[in-house]
């Protein structure tokens, strides 16, 4: 039996809805409300570039700027994105059976508040030529704290860390590799390997079973986690957690807002459901309750229910609302 818990929810605007109502993607009041609570469960953010009027605004006023601002404001430096292949979704995986084997189970640990996304940027005219500049900056303290988080996670898993960088080209990556090597000395039980990001992108589709914990910087992690999501069957299946130095965390699906199917009851709610499970596990230490949610998702998949993104032959197609109800009924 599970002890009855009471959760108090406060809804705040962020992204496009905040722009429409308040003129900015994240207000100071919304950030203060988030800080005053124990955790944040975030909906997907974004629209369609070239279609939605939000993208006619300056970059610092677009929906995604709110996401960057709340991550920075809450000091959420560690993003965890599990990539797990459910046996029931093998047919949805684009890889061949001989590559899938017995399946794969990895987690991507991504530094979230530094790097290219947070560096200085500008677009200006230089000698008559329009020129854009983005700046990629990391210091050793930022690298060390995410490396420690990655190795701590590896200690609870299969004790292997693959640190991904571009050390053959980038100074920031050379510093990354140096600091990761220093941190590794404190974890003699953990196997460490370094891998260039282009090779990692290839290895994810060539042999995903080799990975346990992938540790990497902000932009590389953004790209690799989406690739890992697709070989898992669908972005609609993958949750994520963004953590700081305390129990506080922000939890969100790895996918975007899917504006092309908005209001059609077609979206896959499982990533959001599993994000709530991660919230219980990491912020509230409610492991049994989190396990119950995870097992409920597995039972629904075993029963053959699918949303359109993971649909395969002989399965039962359901909409977003029905999938959510089915999972709730299985808990």
Residue 42 belongs to some domain of the structure: yes
Domain boundary among the residues 74, 100, 124 is at 74
Are residues 261 and 227 both part of a single domain? no
Residue 242 belongs to some domain of the structure: no
Domain boundary among the residues 233, 248, 267 is at 233
Cβ–Cβ < 8 Å for 254, 80: no
Looking at residue 42, what is its pLDDT? 95
Are residues 139 and 62 both part of a single domain? no
Are residues 220 and 83 both part of a single domain? yes
Catalytic residues: 117, 166, 198, 222, 226
Domain membership of residue 172 as a residue range: 76-233
Looking at residue 230, what is its pLDDT? 84
Residue 243 belongs to some domain of the structure: no
What CATH number is associated with residue 158? 3.40.718.10
Mean pLDDT for the chain overall: 93
Are residues 205 and 263 both part of a single domain? no
DSSP calls for 219-242: HHHHHHHHHHHHHTT-GGG-EEEE
The pLDDT tens digits for 107-116 are: 999 999 999 9
Are residues 217 and 116 both part of a single domain? yes
Are residues 103 and 220 both part of a single domain? yes
Residue 155 belongs to some domain of the structure: yes
């959510």: which residue's tokens? 324
Are residues 80 and 228 both part of a single domain? yes
**Average pLDDT rounded to a whole number, residues 302-324:** 94
The pLDDT tens digits for 39-79 are: 999 998 888 777 788 988 998 999 989 998 998 899 999 99
Supply 206's token pair.
């060539």
Residue 245 belongs to some domain of the structure: no
Are residues 70 and 95 both part of a single domain? no
Helices (H), the chain: 16-22, 28-36, 63-73, 97-100, 140-155, 171-184, 197-206, 218-231, 270-283, 287-302, 320-330
Tally of domains within the chain: 3
3-state DSSP assignment of residue 65 = helix
Are residues 56 and 80 both part of a single domain? no
Residue 167 belongs to some domain of the structure: yes
For 79, the enclosing helix (H) or strand (E) is strand 78-84
The pLDDT tens digits for 266-275 are: 999 999 999 9
């Amino acid at each position: 039996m599970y002890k009855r818990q009471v959760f108090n929810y406060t809804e705040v605007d962020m992204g496009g809805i905040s722009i429409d109502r308040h003129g900015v993607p994240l207000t100071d009041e919304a950030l203060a409300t988030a800080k005053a609570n124990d955790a944040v469960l975030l909906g997907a953010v974004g629209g369609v570039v070239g279609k939605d009027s939000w993208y006619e605004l300056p970059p610092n006023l677009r929906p995604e700027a709110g996401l960057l601002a709340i991550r920075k404001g809450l000091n959420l430096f560690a993003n965890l994105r599990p990539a797990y292949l459910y046996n029931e979704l093998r047919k949805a995986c684009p890889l061949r059976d001989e590559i899938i084997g017995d399946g794969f189970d990895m987690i991507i640990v991504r530094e979230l508040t530094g790097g290219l996304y947070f560096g200085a940027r500008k677009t200006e005219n230089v000698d008559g030529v329009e020129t854009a500049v983005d700046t990629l900056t990391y210091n050793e303290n930022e690298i060390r704290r995410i490396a420690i988080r990655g190795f701590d996670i590896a200690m609870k898993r299969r004790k292997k860390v693959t640190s991904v960088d571009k050390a053959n080209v980038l100074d920031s990556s050379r510093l990354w590799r140096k600091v990761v090597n220093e941190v590794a000395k404190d974890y003699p039980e953990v196997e460490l390997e370094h891998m260039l990001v282009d090779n990692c992108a290839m290895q994810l589709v060539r042999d995903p079973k080799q990975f346990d914990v992938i540790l990497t910087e902000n932009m590389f992690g953004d790209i690799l986690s989406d690739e890992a999501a697709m070989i898992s069957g669908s972005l609609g299946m993958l949750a994520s957690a963004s953590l700081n130095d305390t129990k506080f965390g922000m939890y969100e699906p790895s996918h975007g807002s899917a504006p092309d199917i908005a209001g059609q009851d077609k979206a896959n709610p499982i990533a959001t459901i599993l994000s709530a499970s991660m919230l219980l596990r990491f912020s509230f230490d409610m492991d049994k309750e989190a396990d119950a949610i995870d097992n409920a998702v597995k039972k629904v998949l075993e029963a053959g229910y699918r949303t359109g993104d993971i649909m395969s032959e002989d399965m039962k197609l359901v909409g977003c609302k029905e999938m959510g109800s089915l999972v709730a009924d299985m808990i």
